[in-house]
Amino acid sequence: MPEPVPPRRLRPRPGVPAARSALALLQALARQPGAVPAAALARELGLPRSTTYHLLAELVDAGFAVHLPEERRYGLGVTAFEIGSAYARQEPLARLARPVLARLVDAVGNSAHLAVPHGREVLYVVEQRASGRPPLVTDVGVRLPAHLTASGRALLADLPPPQVRALFPDAGAFVDRHGLGPRRLTELRRLLTDVRRTGHATEDGEVTPGFASVAAAVHDHAGRPAAAVAVTFPSDDVDGAARAELARRVSRAAAELTRRINGRPPAERLGSETDHPAGA
């Protein structure tokens, strides 16, 4: 049976928080792999169908959604893309991170940086260099293999296990820089289990010989890993107790940035995957 024609420009039902419902609908559209029927959106959000159609009509009028009448489905519109592009242009994440990193550098005396996920790599978007410290490979715009970096491991640890498996389907996905680090999915899993247990990630000499890093994830509004805060330091300059204190400071900085972007920590740490790994 064809879906009813969506009603247009109706007043929201009394008591319905229209703005919040519209935003929830837009977020639901963004979570879909493709266009979806209005009825499915109504079920997911627990909204009446009439309200869902009304809100979708408003989103279509504003360009945030598009109606595919032949398929009787809805998807994201070009305005949603423009909003995402504007976010990238304005760099709010980087701008919010800079004062957090500056305070972190002042506290620890070593350089800090912010990285975001980029497939099997991490992309460095902010570097706050400590006074008198040498330049690092983690300059702005540089991409490095996620499985070798502390930042990448902090991000990977909070991804669903199937997503990690899709990123690293076989041994060929594991880039080698200095003969260190995981080379198979089973080895990476063990590292990520430790990250979930401790709440922070480390690497030592796997990116640059003689230097180590500690990192913690920054989470978005849905508790997903959006970025990672890290500090890099000469391996011989920081002993075990000092590294533990450094990890605490990095974790606090990541939590502060999570709050600044209106994010929240994940409801619970992902447990270990139990199915047989591909490429292990």
Q: Domain ranges in the chain?
A: 18-84, 91-260
What pLDDT score does 194 carry? 95
What pLDDT score does 4 carry? 44
What pLDDT score does 279 carry? 33
What pLDDT score does 222 carry? 82
Residue 239 phi/psi, 5-degree rounding, is: -90, -175
What pLDDT score does 108 carry? 95
Q: Can you say how many angstroms the Cα of residue 144 is from the centroid of all Cα atoms in its chain? A: 16
* DSSP one-letter string for the chain: -PPPPPP-SPPPPTT--HHHHHHHHHHHHHHSSS-B-HHHHHHHHT--HHHHHHHHHHHHHHTSEEEETTTTEEEE-HHHHHHHHHHHHH-HHHHHHHHHHHHHHHHHSSEEEEEEEETTEEEEEEEEPPTTPPP-S--TT-EEETTTSHHHHHHHTTS-HHHHHHHS-SGGG---SSS-S--SHHHHHHHHHHHHHHS-EEEESSSSTTEEEEEEEEE-TTS-EEEEEEEEEEGGG--HHHHHHHHHHHHHHHHHHHHHTT----SS------SPPTT-
What pLDDT score does 13 carry? 44
Per the DSSP assignment, residues forming a β-bridge with 229 are 114, 216
CB 74 within 8 A of CB 35: yes
What pLDDT score does 181 carry? 83
The closest alpha carbon to 175, from 139, 121, 118, belongs to 121
Cα–Cα distance measured from residue 240 to residue 31, given in angstroms and rounded to the nearest whole number: 42
- Look up the CATH architecture of domain 91-260: 2-Layer Sandwich (3.30)
Per-residue pLDDT of the chain in tens (280 residues, 90 and over written 9): 444 444 333 344 444 467 888 888 988 888 887 889 999 999 989 999 999 999 999 999 888 889 988 889 998 887 877 776 566 555 688 899 999 999 999 999 999 999 998 888 998 999 999 988 877 777 788 889 999 999 999 999 999 888 899 889 888 889 887 778 899 999 999 999 999 999 999 999 999 999 999 999 999 888 889 999 999 999 988 888 899 999 999 999 999 999 999 898 887 544 433 333 333 3
Cα–Cα distance measured from residue 237 to residue 210, given in angstroms and rounded to the nearest whole number: 10
What pLDDT score does 5 carry? 40
Under CATH, which number does the domain 18-84 receive? 1.10.10.10
- One fold for 18-84 and 91-260: no
Cα–Cα distance measured from residue 242 to residue 219, given in angstroms and rounded to the nearest whole number: 26
pTM: 0.69
What pLDDT score does 7 carry? 38
The closest alpha carbon to 157, from 253, 251, 224, 97, belongs to 224
Q: Which two tokens stand for residue 197?
A: 């247990």
Cα–Cα distance measured from residue 65 to residue 62, given in angstroms and rounded to the nearest whole number: 8
